[in-house]
Amino acid sequence: MTRNKRLKGKTVVITGASGGLGEQLAYQCAASGANLFLLARNVGKLDQMAEKIRGQHGVDCRYLQLDLSSHEDVPAVFQAIFEEVRHVDVLVNNAGYGIFSEAKDVTLPDVQGMFAVNVVGLIACTKEVIPSMKKRKLGHIINVSSQAGKLATPKSSVYSATKHAVLGYTNSLRMELADAGVFVTAVNPGPMATSFFDLADPSGNYVKNLGRHILSTEKVAEKVVAAMLTNSREINLPGWMNAGSILYALFPKLVERLGKKAFLKK
């Protein structure tokens, strides 16, 4: 497990912290000496995590319940955080979900739900930390997007659209905050071994087809934690998939034609 000495004594806020990548980020940030605020809907799991983190690493670890689809609750949650600590050093916008469905079959409630959490919820959290980070000229906003935000594939039209939106927002935000000394990083992982696919693909076919190519949350978390409080533009994993995304940006028609069979394996 990588240790990041820059995090010692810093305050890190993680959304979607109760499982998957968010959970691994919490453990690895704590191992680096960071104090934590964990945000998610499942307070039972957050309570278990906070107790374990405090016991193993001796850092301050607190949690608050937050459903990112309830945007009106976001300001109060961050107000509660700022009442406990003077500032947030790192915000990791990790919460998100997807549902794989052909465009003709996706329901409007699912469309609204994915955009509410993946995009609007992320923006709502970010807005809460920008003023203090700009004032201090210090901070790091890390937005977890996806390789799907660079290379769209069949059956993920809406999910991919949300991640394209996250990347657009992140790229604009990075330029806005560059002169303020605030770092902004996009994390673009390929498929990870998490409960994400329990909802996204209940059939299990996609994970089965991925086989050994699926990423571990531990490895992705190591890369993200190592980059915290550094001026890293993007973290792209795995390398071969990101190469495909770059190739797609250059030769979209060719990639769509040659990759059609593989893309349809969802």
Task: List residues with catalytic annotation.
Answer: 159
Tokens representing 8? 């010692």
Closest to 262 measured CA to CA, from 209, 212, 190: 209
Instruction: Compute the radius of gyration of the chain from its Cα atoms.
Output: 18
Q: Which amino acid is at 31?
A: A
**Distance from CA of residue 47 to its chain's centroid?**
21
Longest C-alpha distance within the chain, in Å?
A: 54
* Distance, CA of 141 to CA of 110 (rounded, Å): 27
User: Coil, strand or helix: which one is 186?
Assistant: strand
| 129 CB-near residues (< 8 Å, 6+ apart) | 13, 78, 88, 91, 139, 141
Q: What are phi and psi of 114, to 5 degrees?
A: -65, -40
